[in-house]
Amino acid sequence: MNKLDQLAEAMKLLSDKTRLTILAYLKEREMCVCDIVELLETTQPNVSQHLRKLKTGGLVRETKRSQWSYYALNLEDKPYLQPVLDQLPSMKNKLAARTNPSCD
């Protein structure tokens, strides 16, 4: 896949508000699926579907720990996406306001 194809695929993935929101949270820290479900107030299958697309597109990486899957940004080789990340709102306050982290 050439650079233009990679960029087009990445832009398709970023055209979804839910996926952009997930990236905004992952910009702050690595997260477990169950935490993302809680923060987005949606279902686990919905979050898993979005994460699968982001993983397939190479934008996130998955790490298994015990029964949990943790996700982190995987953008080191995609500097062209940094301006998009810079425009995402900070989610630090929303993460700090959580009173019951699910899988921590």
What 8-state DSSP symbol labels residue 80?
Answer: G
Q: Dump pLDDT digits (tens) for 74-90.
A: 999 899 899 999 999 99
Q: How many CB atoms lie within 10 A of CB 24?
A: 17
Answer whether residue 84 is part of any domain.
no
Asked if 71 and 31 count as a contact pair (C-beta separation under 8 A), the reply is yes
**Over residues 18-47, mean pLDDT:** 95
Give the count of domains, the chain.
1
- What pLDDT sits at residue 101? 63
Q: Quick one: what percent of the chain has pLDDT higher than 70?
A: 94
Q: Which residue type does 59 have? A: L
Sign of CA dihedral 35, 9, 57, 24: negative
Assess if residue 85 is contained within a domain: no
Q: What range does the domain containing 55 cover?
A: 7-74
Average pLDDT over residues 67-80: 92
Q: Is 72 helix (H, G, I), strand (E, B) or coil?
A: strand
Q: Answer yes or no: is 24 within a domain.
A: yes
Q: Would you say 26 and 18 are in contact if contact means Cβ atoms under 8 Å apart?
A: no
What is the domain-level CATH number for residue 36? 1.10.10.10
pLDDT band at 100 (very low <50, low <70, confident <90, very high): low
